[in-house]
Amino acid sequence: MAKLLTPDICVIGAGSAGLSVAAAAAAFGVDVVLIEKGMMGGDCLNYGCVPSKALLAAAKSAAATRHAADFGVKVSQPSVDFANTNDHVRRVIAAIEPHDSQERFEGLGVTVLRTAAAFAGPDTLVAGDIEIKARRFVIATGSSALVPPIPGLDQVPYLTNESLFDLRDLPEHLAIIGGGPIGLEMAQAHRRLGSKVTVFEAQKALGKDDPDLAAVVLDRLRAEGVEILEETGVEAIARSEAGVIVTARTKEGAEIRTEASQLLVATGRAPNVDGLGLEAAGIAFTRKGIDVDKGLRTSNRKIYAIGDVAGGLQFTHVAGYQAGLVIRSILFRMPVTMSNEIVPWVTYTSPELGHIGLSETEARARHGDGIKVLTADYAGNDRAQAEGKTLGRLKLIAGPRGRLLGADIAGDQAGEILNLLSLALSKNMTMKDLAGFIAPYPTLGELVRRAAISYYAEAPKNVWVRRVIAILRKFG
C-alpha cells in the first residue's frame, strides 16, 4: 500500500519558482512537500543563468585584456585555457548549490522527494510509492530547450543549454541557431574566448527589444567578429568531417552553407508538461504551457502553476515574483494579480540590453501623442567617459502627467540601472520623481536623472513661466 502524505502545500519542481514557494511556506511553519525528479536548483542553477553568466564573466575578462592598451596598460594578448574556464563555471555553480540543496530544504522542515510525480486525480498526486493529497498544489516544473524540426538535426550531434557548459574544449567554429538573448550571449562569450561564431536567426535578432537599442548591441557583436545572419532560416543540417553543415536561406532566397565544428540550438523554451498527468487533474494546457488566470490558478482551483511551465515571460526573476504572489494567495487568502508590465528583462551581452514596461510602440498605441520619449547617451556621462564605456543610450517613455510608462537601455551595467527604473515603474513614479533624486557622482545612474530632466526642457521657453518669474522678481 502506498504511503499517504497530506501536506498543506505540495510543490512539484525544485527550480527557482518551486524553491521560493517551499522556503517561504516553511518559514511560516506550513507543512510542505517538495518533489524534484532532476537536479535541485533547476535550469537556472545548473544549465541557465548561473553558468552562462559565469562564462560571460570569463569572456569579459579576456576582452578587457585585449583593450588594456587603451588605458595605457601594456599586456600580452590573452591565452585561453578553456578547460580552466569550464572549471570556473563549475566552481560558481558549486558555490551556489548549497543554497538550493536538498539538505538545506530538509533543514527548513520541507519534505523533499527526489522522484517523478504525476496526478492521479484532481486532488491526488503520486510520487513513486507515495500518494499525496495536499490542500494546494503548485506546479513549477520549468521548461526545457525547444528543438525545432529541422531536417537532419536529429542525425547530428548538437548542443543546447543543458550540454553547452559541459564542453572542455573551445569550439573552433560554433554555429548557433537562434538570435535571441541566449544565442547572442553565448555567441559573444565564445567569440571573445577565441571561437569563430555564426548566428542564424529566422526573424530579427533581439526582436523583442527596442530596435534602435538592439542595433547598438548587434553592431558591437558584429564589430567583435560575430557573424549574425538575420532573416535567414535554417533549412537543413548534415554531418561533415569537421562537424556539421548548416544550410540556410535568406529572405531574398539566397542559399547559405556554413560548416562548423559544433552546433548550438537556442531557439526558445518548451514547458515541461509531459508525464504530469495534467488531464487526470483537470488542468487545461497547450504546447505553450499550463493555462492560468491572473492569480496563477489553473483550471483546477486547488492547483497553481508558476514559472516557465505557465508560459509567458520565462525569467528566473519572474518565477520568484510569481512565487511571492502564490504564497500571498495560499497562506493569506489575498487576491493577487500577475502584471507583465512591471517585469524587467536584460540581455547580458556587452553592452547589456535592458527593458521594462511599455515599449515606445506600445505606449504610442495606448496614449497616442500623450507620450514623450526622453533619452540620455552614455557618451554624455562622465563615468562612462572615464571607463571608456561610451557606447549606449538610455530611453525613458513618459506618459500623461509625466508618469513613467517604460524604459529601454543599451549600455554598460544596463541591468543595474534598470533596478532603479523597475522600482520607479512599480510605484507609478513620474519624471518629477526621477529628476528629483540625487545620484552620486560619477555614476551611470545619472543617466536616469539626465533623461528625466529633459522632460522639462521646454519650460524655460514657456511664456507663462517667464511672466511668473518676472512678477516674482518685483518682490525683491
State the CB neighbour count (10 A cutoff) for residue 152.
Answer: 16
Question: In this predicted structure, what is the pLDDT of residue 47?
Answer: 94
Q: How many CB atoms lie within 10 A of CB 93?
A: 18
> 316: which 3 cell numbers?
528566473
50's grid cell: 548561473
**Is the Cα dihedral 181, 183, 188, 192 positive or negative?**
positive
Q: Which domains does the chain have, with CATH numbers?
A: 3-145+270-340 (3.50.50.60), 153-268 (3.50.50.60), 351-458 (3.30.390.30)
Instruction: Yes or no: say if 118 and 125 are a contact pair by the CB < 8 Å rule.
Output: yes
423-448 pLDDT, tens per residue? Answer: 999 999 999 999 999 999 999 999 99
Predicted pLDDT at 189:
98
Looking at residue 216, what is its pLDDT?
98
What residues of the chain score a pLDDT lower than 70?
1
**Grid cell listed for 52:** 552562462
Q: Are 193 and 82 in contact (CB under 8 A)?
A: yes
Nearest to 310 by CA among 324, 328, 295, 331: 295
CA contacts within 13 A on the Cβ side of 21: 36
Q: What is the pLDDT of residues 304-314, one digit of tens each?
A: 999 999 998 99
Q: Which of 46, 30, 26 is nearest to 38 (CA)?
A: 46
Tell me the residue type at 312: G
Length of the chain: 476
3-state secondary structure of 307: helix
Are the CB atoms for 206 and 178 separated by under 8 Å? no
DSSP characters for 420-449? Answer: HHHHHHHTT-BHHHHHHSPPPSS-TTHHHH
Paired strand residues for 260: 244
With 0-12 / 13-18 / 19 or more C-beta atoms within 10 angstroms meaning exposed / middle / buried, residue 231 is middle
Among 421, 431, 438, which residue's Cα sits nearest to residue 456? Answer: 431
Q: What is the pLDDT of residue 474?
A: 82
What pLDDT is stored for residue 457 in this prediction?
Answer: 84
Helix or strand run (H / E) with residue 64: helix 49-66
pLDDT at res. 460: 76
Listed in sequence order, the residues at least 6 apart from 272 whose beta carbon sits closer than 8 Å to its beta carbon are 13, 141, 142, 143, 144, 308, 309
Residue 428, C-alpha cell as written in the block: 507609478
Cβ 41 vs Cβ 100: under 8 Å: yes
Q: What is the DSSP letter of 100?
A: G
Strand 285-286, strand 227-229: pairing? unpaired
Entry pTM: 0.94
From CA 33, how far away is CA 337, in angstroms rounded? Answer: 25
End-to-end CA gap in the chain: 93
Distance of CA 183 to the CA centre of its chain: 12
Quote the DSSP letter at residue 77: P
